Every structure is written in structure tokens, then in C-alpha cells.
Amino acid sequence: MTRFRQASDRLVDADTAVRRAEADRLAAVAAMIDAYPAPTPIVDSPAAERVVSAGAEGAGAVGEFVALEVGALLGLSEPAAWSLVHDVANLRARHPLLWAAVAELRVEAWQARKVALAAEELSAEAARWVDAELAELWGVVAWPRIRRRLAGLIVRADADLARRKAEIARRDRFVSIRHLGDSTSVLTARMDTAAALTLEASLDMIVDQMILEGAQDRLPVLRARALEMLATPPLPDAAAPNPSPGLPLADVVVHIAAEALDTAATDATNVARVAARGGDVGPVLLDQLAHLLGHHRIRVLPVTDLAGDPSADAYEIPDRIRRQLVIREDSSVFPFSTSRSRTADLDHTIPYRRSTPGSPAPPGQTRISNLGPLSRREHRAKTAGIWTLSQPEPGVYEWTNRAGRRWTVTRGRTAEFRDRSDERIDLVYTSCVALG
């Protein structure tokens, strides 16, 4: 039993270390919020940093580019960094008892963040009431029970808010399709319950027929097949008196390596990457393309040579240049950003210099090697000079923040540049002390 007891103690120690590290991480983010320099207004500049709410009501304010700093330091996208900043600001100001429980390691950081997020639409007073109601549960009640209690407390804290959220939920119906890159996709939807019951009954009717015809798959698989049948329109019959509507048009860009077009090649695993209007479909085996695109009318887009460096003499970016850059850089070139380039700004790395009387604009400023996609906030932070950017070679983006830390982004990969000079100074100093 000694070995088992030692293993048990080690597990408890490891869990304690994780909780302490996560609590320290939240405290460090709070320190970043407190230490972040107040924005300096730039007169008549749309890039000027603004002061924004750090979280919900009562959580204070902070400069809007703070999430770019936190995200770069922690390897997070800006939305993920903002979520962390909001949660920390809300916990500290609106849930002081829970904030203390995190510091005392009685509750895990992720659980505390769940509470802050669930209560963020409450007033500051209501959030503190929820905090007080939960205070005695931390460390003595399992999280699933606390989560159920939390949901009830939020409704009690503001019944009118609960009614409004229910009404909004009924109005905010949606369908979301996410392609997994393995020839399957995930469909998520919020819809009217009556319509959902009708859809469910329709699927069950198709499934029942499949079973009568001898289908042996599990019920979830049969339901998926039934939904696929509903989603796949029959081919139009031109001879029919009322022909079916035309097939949907798909703008599809298929990226195929040159060697994949060699029909004599022995490698049978050639892969195409498909991007469609609804988002990236992902890598697809060439022999699966016919199945994937069989129910669409296809518009083929021109082939783009990604090795070229086309340019234009105007500030506006031609479609051919935009298309080449978006294919090369499918996401923003800011450190750890997840913003997709299709909807991003295309920033001139070296700012575009317009012509002035007696000094015409230099030619070729708008070129692939001087452009990079950025989200609007990332673009503004760069334009305001809070972050600086250089592109020493095409596709290599070197960033420096206001504290002098540096990152390099290349083909979607972010690497922090660490200056070893400080380490050498510390080593020399330590050696001198050791020598006495």
C-alpha cells in the first residue's frame, strides 16, 4: 500500500500545483489589466486606441488593445484573449468571494470562469448576490450540482432578463455547418421546437423505411443518412411539366499540387484542399471530389501562381492580388490570430505613401510582398504604432509590441523571438558572485 499511497499523494500534489498555476495565471492577467498604459488619444485618427469596458457592469475599463498583448504572450487568438480578460475583470469586481476561493485553491479557474460568463448579463448587484449564494459550496459540492444551482440562481436574480433571453432565443434561430476535413461535416441548429419535432418525425419515417428494406446500421447513423437524403435534391427532369429548381451554384476553389495531376504517379493518396462559400471543406481525396461536388453547378476560378509577386500602382488592391494573398495566407498574420483572411483587411506592411504635389507616389507599393491580412483591431493597433511590423521577406512577418517583445509569423506559425543577451548578462553576474 505504500506505493499506492505515494502515487495518491503525487496526484494530489500535481492537482494542487495545477490549481495554483491557474490561479496565478488569472492574477497575472489582472495585473496586466491594472498595468496596461492608458490610451493616448490621437486627434482625428480612426486607428486611435479607445477605452472600453474590461467586462460587464462594474468591472472597470481598459485600453482596447490589451487583448492583443495578452493573446501574444499566452499564444491565444484575440477573441480567446478577450474572453480571458473579461472573465478575470468580472470575477475580481463582481464575484469577490469566488475570486478569493480561486486564490485559496478551493475552486478551479475554469469553473470560476464558467460562473463569470453565465452571470455576465446580470447587474453588478445581482452578480454579487449570486456570488454570495454560491460561496459556501466551493470545495465541498461537486461542480455539476453547483452548475445546476447556478442556473436557478441566475433566473431568480433577474426574472425579467430570463424572459427576455428566452424570447431572444426563439428569435435567434440559426443553422451552422462546420466542415471537419475528413469528408464529413457537423450541423448545429437552433430552430422552433414545433418545426424540430416535425423534422424529427420526417427523419424517423425515412429511418423506418430503411429498416424495412434491411438497413443494419445504428440508429444515429440511419438518422444522419435520412438527413442527407432530405438535403440532397433530385436531379432536375427537363421533360417534367414543372421541373425542379436548378442546382445550387458553388464557387469552389480546389488547390491541387502539380504532382497530383500526374496520372502516371503510383501514389494513390493525392489530396485537394477545397474552399467553398460556406467555409473551408478541408483536405479531400481526389477520388472524393465527384461525390462532394456532384450536386452543385461548378464555376471554376483561374489558377493562381503563389510564387509570383504581382503589384499595382494604386492603393486599392486588385482582385487578382487579393485572391493570391488570401490563398497564401488563409488567416491573419498577427501572432496566434485565428481571424480568417477572406474577411480581413489587407494591410500594407510599409504604409502606402500617396502622391503629393511635386512628389508622385512610388510605383508598386501594393504588391504581395508588402501586404498581409489583419483583423480590423489588429490593423488599427499596427496603424497606431502600438505594434510595429516588418516583412523582411515575402510571407515572413516580424512583430514587436510596446514592451519590446518580438514574434515572427510565417505561414500561420507563430514563434516568439527571445533575445539571449539578458540571459548572458545574468550568467556573467552569477559567475562573478560565485567567484566572490
Residue 435 covered by a domain = no
> Residue 48: its pLDDT value, please?
87
Contact 381, 49 (CB under 8 A): yes
Angle between the N-to-C axes of helices 96-103 and 2-35, in degrees from 0 to 180, rounded to the nearest 10:
130
DSSP annotation of 137 reads G
Among candidates 22, 30, 32, which has minimal Cα distance to 65?
32
Confidence of residue 376 (pLDDT cuts 50, 70, 90): very high
Q: Which three cell numbers, joined as nine digits, stand for 424? A: 548572458
Is 397 exposed, middle or buried, given 0-12, 13-18 or 19+ CB atoms closer than 10 A? buried
pLDDT exceeds cutoff 50 at 290: yes
Regarding whether 322 and 402 lie in a shared domain, the answer is yes
Among candidates 113, 118, 80, 84, which has minimal Cα distance to 98?
113
Residue 260 covered by a domain = yes
* Least confident among 142-146, 357-361, 422-426: 422-426
DSSP for 254-319, please give it: EEE-GGGG-TT-S----EEEEEETTEEEEEEEGGGHHHHHTTSEEEEPPP--TT---EESSSSPPH
Q: How many residues does the chain have?
A: 436
pLDDT tens profile 216-256: 888 889 999 999 888 876 655 555 555 544 555 555 555 55
Residue 428 covered by a domain = no
Residue 156 covered by a domain = yes
Residues 387-414, mean pLDDT to the nearest whole number:
93
Predicted TM-score of the model (pTM): 0.72
Residues 297-302, mean pLDDT to the nearest whole number:
60
Regarding whether 275 and 133 lie in a shared domain, the answer is no
pLDDT tens profile 38-62: 887 666 678 889 999 999 999 999 9
Among candidates 261, 249, 251, which has minimal Cα distance to 300?
251
> Residue 303: its pLDDT value, please?
56
Regarding whether 227 and 359 lie in a shared domain, the answer is no
Domain that holds residue 150: 2-169
Among candidates 124, 126, 131, 129, which has minimal Cα distance to 97?
131
> Residue 190: its pLDDT value, please?
87
pLDDT exceeds cutoff 90 at 167: no
d(CA 387, CA 412) in angstroms, rounded, equals: 18
Regarding whether 22 and 116 lie in a shared domain, the answer is yes
d(CA 83, CA 74) in angstroms, rounded, equals: 13
Regarding whether 265 and 132 lie in a shared domain, the answer is no
Regarding whether 118 and 28 lie in a shared domain, the answer is yes
pLDDT exceeds cutoff 90 at 112: yes
> Residue 74: its pLDDT value, please?
96
DSSP annotation of 65 reads T
Mapped onto helix, strand or coil, the DSSP state of residue 388 is strand
Residues 95-111, mean pLDDT to the nearest whole number:
96
Look at the chain and report how many structural domains it folds into: 4
Rg, the chain, Cα only: 28
pLDDT exceeds cutoff 50 at 430: no
Q: Looking at per-residue confidence, does 369 or 231 come out higher?
A: 369
Residues 104-109, mean pLDDT to the nearest whole number:
95
> Residue 195: its pLDDT value, please?
80
Contact 38, 77 (CB under 8 A): no
pLDDT exceeds cutoff 80 at 197: no
pLDDT exceeds cutoff 60 at 16: yes
Is 33 exposed, middle or buried, given 0-12, 13-18 or 19+ CB atoms closer than 10 A? buried
> Residue 298: its pLDDT value, please?
61
Residue 423 covered by a domain = no
> Residue 246: its pLDDT value, please?
52
Residues 128-152, mean pLDDT to the nearest whole number:
91
Bridge partners for 279 per DSSP: 276
Regarding whether 104 and 63 lie in a shared domain, the answer is yes
> Residue 293: its pLDDT value, please?
62
Among candidates 126, 187, 117, 196, which has minimal Cα distance to 161?
126
Contact 123, 59 (CB under 8 A): no
Regarding whether 113 and 206 lie in a shared domain, the answer is no
Contact 109, 26 (CB under 8 A): yes
